[in-house]
Amino acid sequence: MSTTFQLDTSTSRANPTPAPMKRLTVPKIKRRKFEGKTEEPLVMLTAYTARQAQLLDPHCDMLLVGDSLGQVIYGLPSTLPVTLDMMCAHGAAVVRGSYHSVVIVDMPFGAYEASPQIAFEAASRIMAETGAAAVKLEGGEAMAETIAFLTARGIPVMAHVGLTPQAVNVLGGYAARGRSQQEHEKIIRDGQAVSDAGAFAVVVEGVIEPIAIALTQSVEIPVIGIGASAQCDGQVLVTEDMLGMFERVPRFVKKYDDIAGMIEKTVETYAREVRDRSFPGPEQTYQPKK
């Protein structure tokens, strides 16, 4: 039986609580694709905090502690300034807040590109400090050697091809990839290379839909789409984007709610009640015992 941490609202402390089911594993995720098909698509969302993980965990197969936390949590202009310390801290929080999903932590820019050995040092630190089940790194053929090196040493790897945000300066922006035949072929080669190297799954982001479908059909591992195709083996989105926390989101995001609007209205009500002294009322204050 797994263990999660429930927040005690009376003390704001996280207490370990036995969970009612075993956590999914990387091999189980990989086996969801059988003979080239995934009957039930895999569900994946980003998570950065323990409480967020608690809310998402029952509905997801995988939780990604994405380096998108740079923009979402820290207000940074891109993912490039995100550090290994940040990823470890948030990764540990998400593991504590979950009991069902496979937790995967992004390797930040600069933590793995130089060599497989350097990648192993960073990845092993992530695994040890967070308790996560796997790491994710960007890149296709260029990262195949590193993926093989990590997996051979007990670190499961999810790959990421297509639009790779850490390479935004090389790509020249966040436009969809694969409009040329040359780029189309490269994305397919990248996906096949990471699969052959031992990645247990691959994210394909921001590509022309026929490429996503072709890649899904050409590799044995699950292909997780984001701005790709419903025909992929699963989907991932940045949770704050799909909840409507931001006004501007990529085209491929569907806003399932307007949480930002709800927060604004709630805070407006709170501010009004503070200013007219209707809050706190008798229910929120301590009175002398009679």
What are the structural domains of the chain?
3-284 (3.20.20.60)
Question: Is there a binding annotation on residue 255?
Answer: no
Residues with catalytic annotation? 205
What pLDDT was estimated at residue 82? 97
What pLDDT was estimated at residue 222? 98
Give the DSSP letter of residue 96. Answer: H
Q: Which of 82, 43, 35, 81 is nearest to 61 (CA)?
A: 43
Question: Is there a binding annotation on residue 67?
Answer: yes
Report residues of the chain scoring pLDDT below 50. Answer: 1-3
Question: Is there a binding annotation on residue 106?
Answer: yes
Q: How many CB atoms lie within 10 A of CB 253?
A: 17
Q: At what angle are helices 116-130 and 144-152 packed, to 10 degrees?
A: 50
Q: Which residues on adjacent β-strands are paired with residue 205?
A: 162, 226
Question: Is there a binding annotation on residue 10?
Answer: no
Question: Is there a binding annotation on residue 121?
Answer: no
What pLDDT was estimated at residue 290? 82
Note the pTM of the prediction, 2 decimals: 0.91
Q: What is the DSSP string of 103-135?
A: EEEEPPTTSSSS-HHHHHHHHHHHHHHH--SEE
Q: Is the peptide bond before 81 cis (omega within 30 degrees of 0)?
A: no
Q: Which of 156, 108, 132, 123 is nearest to 53 (CA)?
A: 132
